[in-house]
Structure 1
């Protein structure tokens, strides 16, 4: 029997279970795999890791569930109000007569391509070095003027003005009005950043806006905006959306603030704290100078004429002693050298005298020469009959050689 035809026959009577099973069969076989878009409502994670929520649009709603395994694989953190695209299947829960969609995968509706585009752009700009930590600069400690690139009518500027006024009334705020979403937003943001740098309008620049959807925040991830933030000679604080929001200019800025209010707190020091620090430094400086003056007076006090003479003597006496000792040592060394030289000269003279010809002659030796004065050292130098002259120590003897 055809079940569907039986259901159309008014004479057939069904039990609740039968009709529910029939509906279950029709739905589950007809919608084994479906893609559905809708807005998240009543997002309720359970302790077991499953998530229960409702998908809705303007005219209807459907219950949905993501079991723990699929929930752990989500690439984002869903929240109420997010528009999502889901892939899953229809299921009927017979005990309660409800139907729901069991979701296997889920992504932000309309944002999948945007997220992929932003991620690719992020990799490209990072490879160029626009996000390098080495390029990050410190914020000025005492800024006179804060520049704010944002919508002049948005909540962000009101929050920044309120925080600045509360923390430090002496700090000026220059509003650089820009379109922060939609067509032309990126161009006006870039123009305001360049304008602030060209005219040096401020000491630190806040670039941002209040919260919004990913599409609303997209201008702050435009390549032109990121490059303008990175190129800025004025330190930049990026304050786009709320804490969970992000944009590529966050990576290029010198600082990233979770909200515009937090950006104002980063940029503007509390006046009372600054004054307190100044008073503290003043007291420390005064006490340091006072202590130094006191020590200097004690030193000067000890330099009266009597003490000066004593101190001079204390310095002079050791020097004089060293001079006297050095003088005595020099004189003694010179005397010893002279005595040694005299002894050596005397010994040399004795040696020379003992080696002299006259001394040798006095010992009984004589020197023999021919009549021409040539010394005769061998008998072969003379012949019989030659006249020779013999010279003893005193006088001389003239002789003739006979043999």
Structure 2
């Protein structure tokens, strides 16, 4: 039996259907090699391991969504579909998304840590502090040999050479980096070394930036009494220290621009403010001069009289009211005294006697005789009149009221 003879196109189509149909979507882990970004925005590279390699392409739209910058030697996980390119007799993976190898686990760990620290209030917006308007000293917690420090120093000198920069050196990646970063932040606070702190480094992989997401660094940033600007990596990079800081800068250079005010701008503002103040003061002085000129001795006296006259009138009215009130009270008191005197005079025994009455008493005992029953025939009585006394003897008595003698 004679075997079937295939054309190149036929066998290629068969392999295309077989490969593309069998692997509609898959994830390949490997190391980037032969990295070739094109002018159109597409990215061409090779994924390889110790034994094999496969071509890969990342088209422009997907490339823009990357959270990192690929480079040769970087280990990644590329997800997409296999595609057979018949014209070259080759196959490749068309990448839909790509992440650094191990970044999925790292991101999961960071998200869990972010939620936990956020629940403690370390990222609360209301606890953020404003940056000082004109810091005398800017502290920089970063690697002393990194490009980030050179950029910060260059921008600071250009914007405002009057401001001092204090470098607090530390490792920015590796096992010891997090402790060194946290220690330098605490040292700056303990000795009040700066008015504002820039904490960060240049760009790098997700693993390279991990020290700035360690809990000790995040807490040191949150607890810092000195305002902190977080400047970790490039604009697309992020670390948990960004959320705990008072201000997050997209790059170390941007952090320097935020921390260091432009000296020329400040001098211009001061000059403008001084000119405005001078103009306001001159205007007020001129107005005061015009106001003073409007016053003469006669006008001042007239103004004084205008103020004084109502006060004097109120004083006179109050005086008259007081005198009237006092006189009224005196009159009322005199009337009460006269009335009391009349009552007393009417109650005086001499006044009663003067009206024709007399007082009869026993001549021997002096007992006042108020009724006939107190007397008896032959009893000696003493009759007291308004003027003088009369002695008398009882001849006859009537014991009953109204009884005639």
Task: Report what 2:395 is aligned to.
Answer: 401
The count of corresponding residues between Structure 1 and Structure 2 is 381
Q: Deviation at 1:358?
A: 3.6
CA-to-partner distance for each residue in 1:190-232, whole Å, 9 max, x for gaps?
A: 4443444455443222121222211222222223332333343
Task: Report what 1:116 is aligned to.
Answer: 108
Which range is displaced more, 114-123 or 258-267?
114-123
Summarize the Cα distance change of 1:328–1:383 in structure 2 as closer, same or farther, 3 Å threshold: same
The answer to whether the 8 A contact 2:26-2:80 is kept is yes
Q: Say which SS state the counterpart of residue 115 (structure 1) adopts.
A: helix
Are 1:323 and 2:315 counterparts? yes
Task: Report what 1:249 is aligned to.
Answer: 241
Separation of aligned partners in 1, 2:68 and 2:135: 39
Separation of aligned partners in 1, 2:164 and 2:153: 10
Separation of aligned partners in 2, 1:177 and 1:352: 112
* Correspondence for 1:172 among 164, 167, 176: 164
The answer to whether the 8 A contact 1:164-1:268 is kept is yes
Summarize the Cα distance change of 1:260–1:279 in structure 2 as closer, same or farther, 3 Å threshold: same
Task: Report what 1:149 is aligned to.
Answer: 141
CA-to-partner distance for each residue in 1:321-358, whole Å, 9 max, x for gaps?
A: 33333333333333333333333333333343344434
TM-score (norm 1): 0.77
Task: Report what 1:383 is aligned to.
Answer: 376
The answer to whether the 8 A contact 1:204-1:267 is kept is yes
CA RMSD of aligned residues (A): 4.0
Which range is displaced more, 370-379 or 284-293?
284-293
Summarize the Cα distance change of 1:217–1:317 in structure 2 as closer, same or farther, 3 Å threshold: same
Q: Deviation at 1:259?
A: 0.8
Task: Report what 1:216 is aligned to.
Answer: 208
Q: Deviation at 1:130?
A: 3.3
Task: Report what 1:81 is aligned to.
Answer: 70
Separation of aligned partners in 2, 1:118 and 1:321: 85
Task: Report what 1:277 is aligned to.
Answer: 269
TM-score (norm 2): 0.76
Q: Say which SS state the counterpart of residue 116 (structure 1) adopts.
A: helix
CA-to-partner distance for each residue in 1:5-63, whole Å, 9 max, x for gaps?
A: x9xx7x422366753454246436765775412559779xxxxxxxx986732543145
Summarize the Cα distance change of 1:381–1:169 in structure 2 as closer, same or farther, 3 Å threshold: same
Separation of aligned partners in 2, 1:318 and 1:41: 98
